[in-house]
Amino acid sequence: DTGVSQNPRHKITKRGQNVTFRCDPISEHNRLYWYRQTLGQGPEFLTYFQNEAQLEKSRLLSDRFSAERPKGSFSTLEIQRTEQGDSAMYLCASSLPQASNEKLFFGSGTQLSVL
Amino acid sequence: SQQGEEDPQALSIQEGENATMNCSYKTSINNLQWYRQNSGRGLVHLILIRSNEREKHSGRLRVTLDTSKKSSSLLITASRAADTASYFCATDRAGNQFYFGTGTSLTVIP
């Protein structure tokens, strides 16, 4: 495995349904980030993990959103009771921080469309 | 909220010309990075410049950083059609969040 893998690539759902996305980071990376990106905008930080610990959550992450990284490897992002405003690209990134030199490696994203 | 703002929002140039895009940010940083994103794909890291550096080169890329003005610029020399993409600056702060700007959409016309 040479990169960050996200599944599914596309998800179409009806408003009110729950959806779950998966991210498999680069295997030796201990940090994992979730971002959300809407058309014409830059990625917005949602949350990040150091190993299995969720260390920070954005205020953008309402109580309908939950993320886990149970064994410090893959992560899931669940959105409950989806709303049309949740439609966006959800990006996962991983990193192996070195002193003042942390670089993010992104997956290709999951494009969510809420009808 | 997003930390950075790129300027211009969109840039269209002829192949072979140089492309310059700018990034301004709001708070003190540890380092600043530039990323590239092709349509519908994830971001790819291009170059990192630390807060104590003023200029850095990587191939056809040249990045400058002015911490007194809280700004950075990315220069792509001798542009190619394959450079067509969106370019984002990202800054980090204590707390390990990376904040991305709004991006510059670059179109290189063959």
pLDDT digits (tens, 9 = 90+) for A34-80: 999 999 899 999 999 999 999 988 887 889 999 999 988 999 999 99
Q: What average pLDDT does range A100-114 have in this prediction?
A: 91
CA–CA dist A55, B58 (Å, integer): 33
Provide the pLDDT for residue A3.
93
CB-CB: which of A43, A102, A106 is closest to B92? A102
As given in the structure block, the two tokens for residue B64 are 């400058």
Provide the pLDDT for residue B26.
87
Contacts of A103 in chain B (CB under 8 A): 33, 45, 48
Confidence of residue A32 (pLDDT cuts 50, 70, 90): very high
B74, B23 contact by CB (below 8 A): yes
| pLDDT surpasses 90 at A91 | yes
Interchain CB distance below 8 Å, A33 and B88: no
Which residue has tokens 């954005």? A58
Residues of chain B with pLDDT below 50 are 1
Interchain CB distance below 8 Å, A42 and B50: no
As given in the structure block, the two tokens for residue B83 are 């450079």
Q: What average pLDDT does range A15-42 have in this prediction?
A: 95
As given in the structure block, the two tokens for residue B17 are 């010309």
Provide the pLDDT for residue B94.
58
Provide the pLDDT for residue B1.
47
Name the closest residue on chain B to residue A107, using Cα atoms.
B42
Q: How many Å is the maximal CA-CA distance in chain B? A: 43
B window 45-104, beta carbon within 8 A of A: 45, 48, 50, 88, 90, 92, 95-103
- Do the strands A110-114 and A88-95 form a parallel or antiparallel pair, or are they unpaired? antiparallel
Any B CB within 8 A of A106 CB: yes
% of chain A with per-residue pLDDT over 70: 97
